[in-house]
A and B are shown apart, each in its own frame.
Chain A
Amino acid sequence: MGVTLGINDLKMVTAEMAEYPDMDYTGLSFSFLKRRLAYVFEKLKVRKLVAFSERLSDEDFREEVKYHMAVKVTEMFRDPGFWRSVRQNVFPVLGDHFTVWFPDTPSGEELFSFLVLLKESNLLESVDVVCQHPSEQLCNEISMGVFDTRNSELNHSNYKRLEESDRFEEYFTEESGDTIFNKALLKHCRFRTKAAGVAEEGEMFDFIVFRNSGINYSYSRHEELFKEIVDHIRPGGFLAIGVKETIPGNLKDYLTVVDDKESIFRKPGVKNE
């Protein structure tokens, strides 16, 4: 029998977690927190809330919590139409060199899809990519090309929906008996352990990919988070969100729609303005 968390439990435990670096989950919606913490408790075999609170003082335990709090993207090229739109509407106007930010990178699938797309558009040498997640272990795994090979067939079929050619196998290698993503494609990626959506002061990006993470936040935090993210889009730069997400509140006034169906937006202005 798992631990059942009420609203007061959630408030208490997230307040305790927020005292530690990169563990402020207070902005997540209650229903998401309830499910996610139940999942984390199950993974870490936590039977009582008080035991969870006590173990938070252990740095290794906190790392495990951050690792399991991540909702992994379970397939590469999720929404093939989105990736097609990126190639058609975003890549041609990004210029000779551009910077990309994944403000929440809970697994490799989204990043690897993006890198494959860059490679096939001959843009891999034009980019600097910043990826972040609060879990150091997760960042390490993704930087090593580790991904969930159980979904290889689905990944491949998504790719085939996107591509006319089929070079999918070229992007993977065998290492110690495991299939991993080709690390050569990761050479312009930088990983950092940081809470979702938190950039360095003054950092600006040409393209921000923040798909299906905002849906886990409460209404109020969702709006704050998007404001912070939009502030880091360079004039003329792009923002991609999940196909069933919306830009909150009056932030819509700061962005123009590039592809409504695939949820791609652009900040008005010109690069280097």
Chain B
Amino acid sequence: MKKSDRKFKVVVIGGSAGSFSVVSKILSQLDPEFPVPLVLCLHRLKHVRSGLVEGLNLKSRIPVVEPFDKEKLKPGVAMLAPSNYHLFVEFDSTISLSTEEVYNHSRPAIDFAYSSAAYAFREKTLGIILTGANKDGARGLKGIKDKKGYTIVQDPSTCDVETMPQSALKLFEPDQILTPDEIVKVLNSLVG
């Protein structure tokens, strides 16, 4: 199935070290009519609750919010996993948060965001893994692939730290390996 043939119900982007600038670039070039809910799960300092969402909103062409527990996903809105909470995508298109144990030394854990989205929306999930310094996200992204979702890995040669995309590439073959500019093009192709 080609990505253009299906209507995605969610796009999940995960990243760690170096990902702020990539996510910021993506958001700044995204079509304001972007039609799909976007979930951002980025590793962040657990004791710093503010700053990141404000920073992303500076350049973003769609709103970026930190969701509350049980908040509904919204088309064209980017929801950033709050610090010190895991984020899960639910069947009823809501977000649930959790303070369960850290996973891959992380809370939020990217694996949880990916795998919950894959479980909820299966082939209608688009997962993108960006630059990062640990292996969190690799298994979850494979989970999206296993459920016939669409997977994109940032080209390691364009990453500040390539551990995270390389971990994914060791586990499975994604649908595409793309530069940040190419990722933007793919996302904007979902409009209309």
Task: List the interface of chain A (C-beta within 8 A of B).
Answer: 29-32, 35-36, 39, 71-74, 78-81, 157-158, 161, 212, 214-216, 219, 222, 242-246
Contact = CB atoms under 8 A, between A and B. Distances in A.
Interface string B50-68: 0000000000000000111
Most buried by B among A35, A71, A157: A35
B96 A215 contact: yes
A79 B70 contact: no
B76 to A, nearest CB: 22
Contacts of A78: 84
B7 interface: no
A80 B47 contact: yes
Contact of B96 (A31, A79, A157, A158): A31
Interface stretch (B16-24, B98-106, B157-165): B98-106
A179 B97 CA distance: 31
Most buried by B among A36, A72, A80, A216: A216
B71 to A, nearest CB: 8
A245 B100 contact: no
Given A31-B116, A242-B69, A245-B69, A215 B82 contact: no
B101 A74 contact: yes
Interface string B76-95: 00000010110010110010
Across the A-B interface, give the 10 residue pairs with the lowest CB-CB distance, nearest first: A215-B69, A212-B99, A246-B68, A244-B82, A215-B97, A245-B69, A71-B100, A244-B97, A244-B68, A31-B88
7 contacts: A71-B98, A71-B99, A214-B69, A219-B70, A244-B66, A244-B68, A246-B70
Contacts of B6: none
Contacts of B96: 29, 31-32, 215
Residue of B94, B97, B116 most packed against chain A (CB within 10 A): B97
Given A71-B98, A244-B69, A31 B49 contact: no
Nearest to A211: B99
A243 B49 CA distance: 10
A222 B71 CA distance: 13
Contacts of B97: 215, 244
Contacts of A219: 70, 94
A151 to B, nearest CB: 10
Nearest to B82: A244
Given A244-B82, A244-B85, A35 B49 contact: no
